[in-house]
Amino acid sequence: MPELGQKKLLGADDIRRAVARLAHEVVERNQGVESVVLVGLRTRGLPLARRLQQRILEFEGVEVPLGELDITLYRDDVHQRAPRPLSPTSIPVDISDKTVVLVDDVLYTGRTIRAALDALIDLGRPRSIQFVCLIDRGHRELPIRPDYVGKNVPTSRHEKVAVRLEEIDGIDEVALIAPVEATL
């Protein structure tokens, strides 16, 4: 089994600054946050969405509604693996006619976002859907593009991007994990 080496890509301060910038971008692009709803995906998208909500509150004085979305039932690989446990889906406002801003930690193949789009459309008819990701690691398999990116990180397929957040992992950092070649 090859040894795994870790390379730190972002530290706590980097993440903080990225979140601040993303929050401003969302507000600027939407000319205010009047009809914006933040929706966090799966595990780590939710705390990120909460942080965005917090920053927006700080500098705009407006609390943007925050929801969470579980896309397990919409995945296209349901029958290729053991059934995953389901997380709650709960969005406190009607999303019809709103601008839904989806938030996730890592954008990779784009299949997660594809499932999220299907789920959202079953929940209502948003005016538009935008997408924030903290890390874009490339290797899209579907024509999906993010609207807001924290950092672009080129990776190869056998590498893994690990986003760790204080709320879940106790620490804020983003690491690149790659197998290390053993020396003979």
Partner 1 sequence: MTLEVLSRPSLAQARQLQPARRQRRHVLDLDDFSVAEIEAVLETAGAMQDVLQRPIKKVPTLRGKTLITVFYEASTRTRVGFEVAAKALGADTVSVAASTSSVTKGESLIDTIRTLQALGADFVVMRHHQAGAPYVVAEEVGPVTSVINAGDGWHAHPSQALLDLFTIRERLGRISGLRVAIIGDVLHSRVARSNLWGLTLMGANVVLCGPPPFLPAAGFCDGLPWNLERTYRLDEALDGADVIMLLRMQLERQTGGMFPSLREYVRTYGLTEERLARAKPGAVVMHPGPMNEGVEIDPRVARGPQSAIEDQVRNGVAVRMAMLYLLSGLPA
Q: Does 60 bind partner 1 (CB under 8 A)?
A: no
Say which residues have a Cβ less than 8 Å from residue 167's Cβ, sequence separation at least 6: 47, 50
Residue pointed to by tokens 């859907």? 129
Which is nearest to 150 in space by CA: 166, 161, 139? Answer: 161
Task: Please report whether residue 74 would count as binding partner 1 according to CB under 8 A.
Answer: yes
Q: Is 156 in the site for partner 1 (CB under 8 A)?
A: no
Element (H, E) at 49: helix 45-60
Count of residues interacting with partner 1 (CB under 8 A): 21
- Residue 12 or 121: the one with the smaller Cβ distance to partner 1 is 121
Asked if 142 is part of the footprint of partner 1 (rule: CB under 8 A), the reply reads no
Which region among 74-82, 101-109, 162-170, 174-182 touches partner 1 (by CB under 8 A)?
74-82
Reference 26, options 4, 57, 3; nearest CA is 57
Binding site for partner 1 (CB under 8 A): 70, 73-75, 78-83, 85-90, 118-119, 122-124
